[in-house]
Amino acid sequence: MGIRVQKKDRNNRLCVDETMSDDDYVVMLPLETMQRLHLSHAHPLWIKGKKGRQTMCIAIAYDHDDRCKIEPKTRLNRAVMNDLSIRIGGSVSVHCLPGVKKPVHILSTDDNLKLAEFLNNVGDDVLSEIFLRLPNGRSALQYSSVCKRWSSIISDSAFIHNFIHIHDHMCLRFSEDYYRSRPFMLLFTRYDRYYRSGESDDDPHYFEPFCQVFSEKSKVPHGGKRSNYLYFMPCTVVILASYNDLVLATSLDDTHPKHPPFTAATKNYICNPLTKQWLELPKVKPLHIISGYGFVCEPICSKKLGCTSNVRYRVVIIGRAHSTINLLDRRMGKLHLGLVNGQLRLSQFYEAEAQKYYVFRVWELKNKNDNKCPSWVLVYNLKLNCSERKMFFLSFHPNHTNVVFLLRGNEVCQYDMFEKKYEKVGEYADRIYMPWIDISTHTIFYPSWPTPIPALPSTPIPALPSG
């Protein structure tokens, strides 16, 4: 039973706007509204939306610019708006919580002055603890340009280690919520443009992924905008593999025009598309047939030093002679391995019975309770109707256990295996002849602090075995 802030009149109904803040527990109110409703800073409130939905938030004041005549709005982030089933321009009502003491003071410029005094007098160690609690690396780095003191605290390597530790490595690391809320972006790229079409195209958009799927949260590191692609690289590149926020890319300048880039890649780069840092790897001897690339980059963690922001990279090029599983068998269909919420999954997708339907199976590697040996458990066994459009499996959804991405004709579809529904997310204009070779999907996950790209070590890297 909430006590209305103002009885009868509709003073507590407020118009909603969106904020890019990723803090799910904050409602931002104009200062005059806070004062009108007698709310103090960080006052807890019930926010009521449509369909009887309600959620608990903390009120934070913002200064409304008086010069614009528009009615000041209540700002909520996307997640809270979804919870309340409310859109931009809709209205919510705010209610005090039962049992909360009557607010003592109203936020004023005096409070900000007090906080100013506090921030200027407090020691570096406490200030650094405060900065560790900023929502992401982007906002912390922005604050490093406030003054010399803030800059020296935030750019300190120990601070960055702690920030990564608190946001990415602590208790959350292995929980399902951690995987579910990781900001991600899926890039669907096609390789055939580079070697099948003879004409050279100077338009850089030509080499962009033809489809991108990304989570709302993945916009935060990019400042609310969509990411731009690898334009900053010294030459035109195509992605071979990805790991968290880094990609392994290869130059197109050296590739033979008749071969897909992944069979003859010699000039390779590791780059971070967000920070635009990159590193050229030592040249490798071109292999005749390459069936895959592996790319791993793990932070160096030790008990003695804790987690550090230094990372170790491993790039593995798998020649055909070394591969034991042939992932493309006509009768078996294409097998595909992927990670969903941190669990390894395997899919099989093939056309059956004279093209009447597609068989689609998904297994998950599960640990049994009694013994420690994990085993593959069949989680989905589906028959999908054939239409005139050919279908191929593209990728698992990185955080959604029921969703996969399929290619249907020239459309990329998101398919919900539970509800059996297709949703188009992208398409390409011209024909792709061999989608199982020419289309490749890469997932990018954004950690709280972008992975740095250091210089190459001075010691030479052992040569690859030929063959």
Partner 1 sequence: MSSSSTTTTTTRLLMLKASDGVTFEVEEAVATKLGAINNMVEEEGSEDLICLPNVNGKFLGMVLEWCKKHANNNTNSDKGNDEVNKWWDKEFVMDLDQNTLYHLLMAADYLSGTELVDLLTEKVASMIRGKKVEEIRETFKIKSDFLPGQEEEIRKKNSWAFE
- Footprint of partner 1 on this chain (CB under 8 A)? 19, 21, 23, 26, 28, 40-44, 58, 60, 62, 100-101, 103-105, 111-122, 125-126, 129-135, 137-139, 141-148, 150-151, 155, 221-223, 225, 274-276, 450
Using the minimum distance from each CB to partner 1, give the nearer residue, 135 or 294: 135
Q: DSSP alpha helices (H): ranges in 328-463? A: 435-438
Cβ contacts of 404 within 8 Å, gap of 6 or more:
347, 362, 393, 394, 395, 396, 397, 414, 415, 417
Least distance between partner 1 and beta carbon 225 (Å): 8
Rounded Cα–Cα distance for residues 390 and 404 (Å): 16
Least distance between partner 1 and beta carbon 269 (Å): 18
- Helix/strand/coil percent split, the chain, to 5: 20, 35, 40
The DSSP code sequence of 436-464 is HHHEEEEEEE--SSPPP--PPPSSPPPPP
Using the minimum distance from each CB to partner 1, give the nearer residue, 166 or 311: 166
Using the minimum distance from each CB to partner 1, give the nearer residue, 194 or 446: 446
Least distance between partner 1 and beta carbon 25 (Å): 9
Q: List the one residue out of 123, 140, 5 whose CA is nearest residue 59.
A: 5
Using the minimum distance from each CB to partner 1, give the nearer residue, 103 or 292: 103
Residue indicated by tokens 């050919």: 390
Rounded Cα–Cα distance for residues 144 and 272 (Å): 21
Using the minimum distance from each CB to partner 1, give the nearer residue, 158 or 365: 158
Least distance between partner 1 and beta carbon 116 (Å): 4
Which amino acid is present at 270?
A: I
- Tell me if 184 sits within 8 A of 214, measured CB to CB: yes
Rounded Cα–Cα distance for residues 130 and 123 (Å): 11
Least distance between partner 1 and beta carbon 118 (Å): 5
Q: In whole angstroms, how large is the CA radius of gyration of the chain?
A: 26
Least distance between partner 1 and beta carbon 304 (Å): 21
Using the minimum distance from each CB to partner 1, give the nearer residue, 135 or 204: 135
